[in-house]
Amino acid sequence: MNNQPAVPFDRKHVPADLKPLGEGDPEALGPYRVLGRIGAGGMGAVYAGLGVDGTCAAVKVVHPQFAADDEFRSRFAREVDLVSRVRASCTPAFLGSDLESETPWLATDYVPGLTLRAHVSRNGPLTGGMLTAFATGMAEALVAVHGTGVVHRDLKPGNVILSPDGPKVLDFGIARATDGTVLTSTGGLLGTPGWMAPELYGGDVATPASDMFAWAAMVAYAATGREPFGRGPVEAVSHRTQTEEPELTGLSGDAEQLVRYGLSKDPAQRPTAEQALAELTDRWRHTRVPSGPVPDAPTEVVPALLAQEWDGVEEPPVKRVRSRGRAWAIGTTGVVAAGTVVGLLAVWLFVDTAAVPGGDEDAAAENGQDGAEGSDEPEEPQVTRDPEESAGVFEEAAETARGAESFIAASFRFSNNPGDNTPYYYWYTEDPERAFLSLSMLGPGGGGHLAHGTHLEEVVGVSERNDTFTGEQEREYHPVNDEDAVDNPLHEWEYELAALEALAADDAEFGYEGTDQVPEVAVSLDEMPGQAPDAEELDVREGHRYRGTATGGFWLHPGVDEDTGDRRAEVDVWVSEAGYPLAMRVEETVEGGHSESDGDLVNSYNIDFMVFGAPVEIEIPDESEIEDRADPGTD
């Protein structure tokens, strides 16, 4: 293992998926210069900060409206207190905080790398010395956590990063002090089914033994690539956890017996973190040949064990900053975001910097990226979430969609109420000129608007008409009257993304269904009033599928149905491995909502995110093609 890992970022190089700073983002937090956003949520944001001494930090900050709330400040202060007390090789180091600032902040070491889940998914299970190092490192982290009187309560593959210098336990968002102080106010189960100990489903208080159950389940997953209690709906996973034996086929090595005891239904039968660490380090000293002197204390053995056994985790790539100012000349062009990200990041210290082209300076030069005259190669985003964390996946999918350099999408809302069937279409590209076209089709025609220019500042109205004789669509362009102008030309597209983000709300209930075929698109590709994607390519798509229920009527498109009251629907969502949304299906029945004779109102709302990143053509009219008329039609 390389004991001197490269600096994760500096003033000229930033993590591959770091988001540029936008309007309202701070330029500095305490001693840290802010280089970009790792992520943001409804209650706060996390930034990549660079200290004057070159220290790379993940700086968590709460939004001003919450910072003004005394109770919220107190909860944040307790979180800072707990994080500052946990010191171990396999947890991020606490760097500092300011609770008296107008906007309180907390800084820890920036941890680059993949989550355990992402690493296993891409590279296969851990074996040999790597597995021993992982199990030992996680036990050492829990020794430190439990030693400060804290129970983690949400240990799982998505909360562990495999960094170049060892595994790191992250996210104390729902950690609990043993005195009963809860850091965050949440309802229902606290934890993630499949990784929660059996006693927690019955309402028992989380204890260090509960964390050890999660530790054993996670080591089993690292060794086999399978969840010990399988996947599926929450009810099925929780039932298996409480009543069935774990599936451990393929598990072997130093940690096998400890894992089997750790997965006991009886908390008293599980080893403590101290016992697990002592046995693992003792066995390592007697079965391996350490490369140098080894201390006696188990916690002091861990650095030597990691140095010898932890191997094969490479430094994540960085992007080169090619221009000055708050908007970088790399990655994606800034897009106005009208939707609100729901909920604070579940794993706020984590950024997944999976391999992308042009990761170092030499490669950048070869790809024409050296200097302002170069051009960037297309770069695939990567999933940075545990697939089981549905809320985080939905938030990230919306952000990934916003960052796309091109897309084609459509939504189709229909019901058994005549006149409610309306398709909406969207096209966007940044090549050769930034342009966005939005059309809604009503009856034999429809309309919308076309925006283009660096900031989409040039906006014209668009009308689509069916030619009476040929049946072909004819497009007309006209000025947009002041009363029809929109502050954000992307507002219809943002509505669709806001609907996706709304699924991360606290009252939404979703289960992870695994990988599944994406359904056929809801609109007719043959009748699309613009560039249509390849139907054969859409027919073979697969994605992570989520199924659940949501309330609030967020799926009702403005102008079609303004009723957004207490409504409940069944929802299915598909998200690609690269983090893009693929499809969303909403089915709602409103009892007595149609008419006395026709019965209940049945609504269906479908969003198909059909193309991301592929070439998209949008025709931009000449001034001579823009007809100045009194009646602009449907804008």
Contacts of 228 (CB under 8 A, 6+ apart): 217, 220, 221, 246, 247, 248, 263
Lowest mean pLDDT among 42-46, 165-169, 314-318, 381-385: 381-385
Of the two residues 435 and 565, the one the predictor is more confident about is 435
Residue 320 included in any domain: no
Query: What is the rounded distance in angstroms from the CA atom of residue 318 to the CA atom of residue 321?
Result: 9
- Is 30 in the same domain as 178? yes
Residue 20 corresponds to which tokens in the numbers above? 């540029």
Report the mean per-residue pLDDT for the chain.
77
Contact 460, 449 (CB under 8 A): yes
> Where does the pLDDT of residue 365 fall: very low under 50, low under 70, confident under 90, or very high at 90 and above?
very low
Does residue 406 share a domain with residue 263? no
Nearest alpha carbon to residue 44 among 25, 21, 24, 60: 60
Confidence of residue 344 (pLDDT cuts 50, 70, 90): very low
Q: What is the pLDDT of residue 171?
A: 67
First to last CA, the chain: 61
Spatial contact of 277 and 143, defined as CB atoms under 8 Å apart: yes
What domain range is 70 assigned to?
13-309
Asked if residue 348 is part of any domain, the answer here is: no
Cβ–Cβ under 8 Å, residues 89 and 306: yes
Check: CB of residue 543 under 8 Å from CB of residue 576.
yes
Q: What digits encode the pLDDT tens for the residues 485-513?
A: 556 678 788 888 888 888 887 567 788 88
Percentage of the chain beyond pLDDT 70 is 74
Residue 246 confidence (pLDDT) above 70: yes
Last residue of a domain, one of 259, 292, 309: 309
Bridging pattern class, strands 445-452 and 435-442: antiparallel
pLDDT of res. 569? 83
In-domain check, residue 171: yes
Could you tell me if 429 and 299 lie in one domain?
Answer: no
Q: Do 53 and 181 belong to one domain?
A: yes
Q: Which amino acid is at 470?
A: T
In a domain, 349, yes or no: no
| 291 and 411 share one domain | no
My answer on whether 84 and 212 are in the same domain is yes
Higher per-residue confidence, 43 vs 54: 54
Considering 271, 290, 309, which residue would you say is the last residue of a domain?
A: 309
Residue that wins the pLDDT comparison between 120 and 345: 120
Token pair, residue 482, equals 């002041």
Give the Cα separation of 430 and 434 in Å (integer).
4
Contact 285, 292 (CB under 8 A): no
342 in any annotated domain: no
- In this structure, the answer to whether residues 303 and 414 fall within a common structural domain is no
pLDDT bin (cut points 50, 70, 90) of residue 260 is: very high
CATH number of the domain residue 199 falls in = 1.10.510.10
Q: How many domains does the chain have?
A: 2
E strand segments, 110-173 = 111-112, 114-115, 150-151, 160-163, 166-169
The answer to whether position 314 is within a domain reads no
Q: Is the whole-model pTM more than 0.75? A: no
What pLDDT is stored for residue 539 in this prediction? 84
Question: How would you label 532-569 residue by residue, b for 16+ Cβ within 10 Å and e otherwise?
Answer: bbeeeebeeeebbbbbbebbbbbbbbeebbeeeeebeb
Last residue of a domain, one of 256, 280, 309: 309
302 with 425, same domain: the answer is no
Q: Rounded distance, CA 540 to CA 389, Å?
A: 25
Residue 89 in any domain: the answer is yes
Could you tell me whether strands 111-112 and 350-351 are parallel, antiparallel, or unpaired per DSSP bridges? Answer: parallel
Domain assignment present for 330: no
Q: Is the pLDDT of residue 394 over 70?
A: yes
Longest dimension (CA), the chain: 90
pLDDT at 258 over 90: yes
Q: In this structure, are residues 335 and 451 in contact, taking their beta carbons and an 8 Å threshold?
A: no
CA dihedral over 431, 579, 607, 518, signed as positive or negative? positive
Kindly report the CATH number assigned to the domain that includes residue 570.
2.50.20
